[in-house]
């Protein structure tokens, strides 16, 4: 069960009414003993107020600019205390007790009742994901799989479902908060369930699960051009920052003297350090040790007439810098080609009726994906990635195809996994399912990860050709435009043929021009051999 304690300002010595200059945590954050909660500043120095216990921040009652004194209560902390659970003798407790045991219990159908935290599940490669909607409130009753909150990454929105049924005791997050895997969303008074019989019962003590620690930041490879500068110790000590900020900067290899502080009196905050690192690693700015890109001019457009300023969507804010980083760091080349799909389209029209009876919309993109599978198997280098040190290629034995899906919030890239093991009907069915989820903002993290090759098809909208940007760390992307009837010389006369424009953008460090044109030529032939594309259809 949960135990809530007051967060109290410890003995500050001779100081009283000390100003709060930074809030280091938010409601819902998981903290460990001695983690900094707030930073205060006297006329002599700044200091962090640490957490007295491990737990989850339930409430904070101070803001930047407030003053605090010894013994003042500034919030509440929810701790997890020991409880009892019932397990079968077949599941032996590990030597240390709780963590492995809980993982074993999670794999079973038995779920214990009582008060327990609601935590964010594994989000894959995503971290610090924004909460865009909260679906629960204290007192609400939820069932298993009911949505608790909606999160949005740079690629899509996703719901976090309830893993147990019960009554919501408290909600620890708000719209706009950032959460990661293991973050607490709230506390639920759960209803115990037991879908499998438990033959022989045995009670053991369940210790409070330790808060998940975030992995230590990895230093950038020496060969990476966008690396952080070496810390200048002499200047580092003169930066206006609190002890916890200095500690974070050292962990990340940031020279504080090069960070612009946005706090009071230009004080450097935690967010300033994180923004500095993110700007360098995503290519938004050049590392201070190297040269920077020239900036575009800043213009007041209102001088020329009426304007309407609209904010970028969240997807645009995050995907934009990533696309820019890919464009800057990868030497892009685009190979344009035409594929004769006359026979393919005739066969597709013939199969549309039977496909519809099976509940499948048989689109041209499904055939293009099937042809891409054959081309990637013929040219495995196009299905590879360059290693982090730039000295080797990672060849993937799987074929996961991403495709650009148009949504009201911007383009997202769902992934059809193991496309090489699926026929055209299965690919078409999954295309429709993932596209619908993307439009509704309901894609889950695994459905957006792991692509080894991406296809961007704009043929349904229009256009004759375009140059897609490689979705790094992939090394190539295929752009598909609208097909048109064109006169093609057959050796004796011109005949009308349905031609599909293809545009293969590729990383020239991995793929050269000869390989690229061989790939598009092979792909064109595969699209023309409709019988081979359909041979897996039962």
Q: Which of 332, 336, 400, 508 is catalytic?
A: 508
Spatial contact of 538 and 352, defined as CB atoms under 8 Å apart: no
259: which 2 tokens? Answer: 């960070």
Spatial contact of 399 and 384, defined as CB atoms under 8 Å apart: no
Strand partners, 35: none
The DSSP result for 446-488, as a single string, is GGGS--SEEEEE-TTT--S---PPP-TTSSEEEEE---EEEEE
Active site residue 508: yes
The DSSP result for 387-451, as a single string, is -TTSS-EEE-SS--EEE-EEETTEEE--EETTGGG--HHHHHHHHHHHHHHHHHT---GGGGS--
| Terminal C-alpha separation, the chain | 55
List of residues 6+ apart from 461 with CB closer than 8 A: 406, 482
- Report the interhelical angle of 364-378 vs 342-357 (nearest 10°): 120
Spatial contact of 243 and 47, defined as CB atoms under 8 Å apart: yes
Spatial contact of 339 and 523, defined as CB atoms under 8 Å apart: yes
Q: How many CB atoms lie within 10 A of CB 416?
A: 22
Residue 319's nearest CA partner among 215, 419, 417, 407 is 407
Place of tokens 């997202």: 412
What gap in Å lies between CA 522 and CA 203, rounded to an integer? 64
φ/ψ region of 466 (left if φ > 0, alpha if ψ in -120 to 50, else beta) reads: beta
Place of tokens 């090759």: 453
Residue 275's nearest CA partner among 245, 299, 296 is 245
What gap in Å lies between CA 346 and CA 343, rounded to an integer? 5
What gap in Å lies between CA 430 and CA 144, rounded to an integer? 26
Burial class of residue 409 (count of CB atoms within 10 Å of its CB; 0-12, 13-18, 19+): middle
Largest CA distance in the chain: 100
Spatial contact of 503 and 334, defined as CB atoms under 8 Å apart: yes
CA 47 to chain CA centroid, Å, is 34
Count of H-run helices and E-run strands, the chain: 10, 31
What gap in Å lies between CA 306 and CA 265, rounded to an integer? 36
What gap in Å lies between CA 523 and CA 500, rounded to an integer? 11
Spatial contact of 155 and 183, defined as CB atoms under 8 Å apart: no
Catalytic site positions: 508
């Amino acid at each position: 069960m949960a135990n809530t304690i007051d967060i109290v300002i410890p003995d500050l010595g001779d100081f009283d009414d000390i100003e709060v200059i930074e809030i280091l945590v938010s409601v819902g954050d998981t903290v460990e003993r001695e983690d900094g909660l707030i930073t205060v500043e006297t006329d002599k120095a700044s200091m962090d107020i640490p957490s007295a216990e491990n737990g989850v921040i339930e409430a904070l009652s101070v803001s930047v600019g407030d003053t605090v004194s010894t013994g003042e209560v500034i919030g509440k902390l929810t701790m997890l205390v020991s409880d009892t659970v019932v397990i079968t003798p077949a599941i032996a407790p590990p030597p240390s007790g709780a963590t492995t045991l809980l993982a074993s219990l999670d794999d079973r159908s038995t779920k214990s009742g009582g008060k327990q935290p609601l935590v964010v599940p594994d989000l894959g490669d995503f971290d610090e994901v924004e909460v865009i909607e909260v679906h629960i409130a204290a007192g609400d009753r939820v069932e298993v799989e009911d949505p608790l909150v909606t999160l949005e990454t740079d690629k899509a929105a996703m719901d976090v479902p309830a893993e147990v049924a019960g009554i919501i005791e408290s909600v620890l997050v708000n719209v706009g908060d950032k959460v990661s895997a293991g973050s607490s969303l709230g506390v639920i008074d759960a209803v115990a369930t037991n879908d499998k019989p438990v033959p022989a019962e045995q009670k053991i003590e369940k210790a409070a699960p330790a808060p998940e620690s975030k992995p230590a930041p990895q230093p950038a490879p020496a060969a990476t051009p966008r690396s952080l500068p070496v810390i200048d110790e002499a200047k580092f000590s003169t930066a206006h920052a609190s002890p916890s900020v200095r500690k974070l900067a050292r962990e990340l290899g940031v020279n504080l003297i090069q960070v612009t502080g946005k706090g009071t009196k230009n004080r450097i905050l935690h967010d300033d350090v994180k923004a500095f690192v993110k700007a360098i690693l995503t290519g938004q700015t050049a590392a201070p040790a190297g040269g920077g890109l020239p900036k575009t001019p800043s213009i007041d457009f209102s001088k020329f007439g009426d304007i309407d300023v609209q904010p970028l969507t969240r997807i645009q804010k995050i995907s934009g810098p990533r696309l820019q980083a890919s464009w800057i760091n990868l030497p892009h080349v685009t190979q344009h080609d035409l594929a004769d799909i006359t026979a393919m389209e005739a066969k597709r029209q013939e199969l549309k009726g039977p496909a519809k009876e099976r509940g499948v919309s048989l689109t041209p993109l499904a055939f293009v994906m099937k042809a891409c599978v054959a081309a990637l198997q013929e040219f495995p280098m196009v299905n590879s990635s360059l290693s982090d040190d730039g000295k080797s290629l990672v060849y993937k034995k799987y074929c996961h195809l991403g495709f650009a899906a148009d949504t009201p919030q911007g383009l997202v890239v769902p992934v059809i996994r193991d496309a090489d093991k699926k026929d055209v009907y299965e690919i078409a069915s999954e295309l429709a399912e993932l596209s619908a989820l993307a439009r509704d903002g309901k894609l889950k993290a695994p459905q957006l990860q792991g692509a080894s090759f991406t296809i961007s098809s704009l043929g349904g909208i229009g256009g004759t050709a375009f140059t897609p940007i490689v979705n790094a760390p992939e090394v190539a992307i295929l752009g598909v435009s609208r097909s048109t009837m064109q006169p093609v010389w057959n050796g004796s006369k011109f005949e009308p043929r349905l031609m599909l424009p293809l545009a293969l953008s590729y990383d020239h460090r991995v793929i050269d021009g000869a390989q690229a044109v061989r790939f598009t030529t092979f792909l064109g032939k595969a699209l023309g051999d409709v019988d081979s594309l359909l041979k897996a259809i039962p």
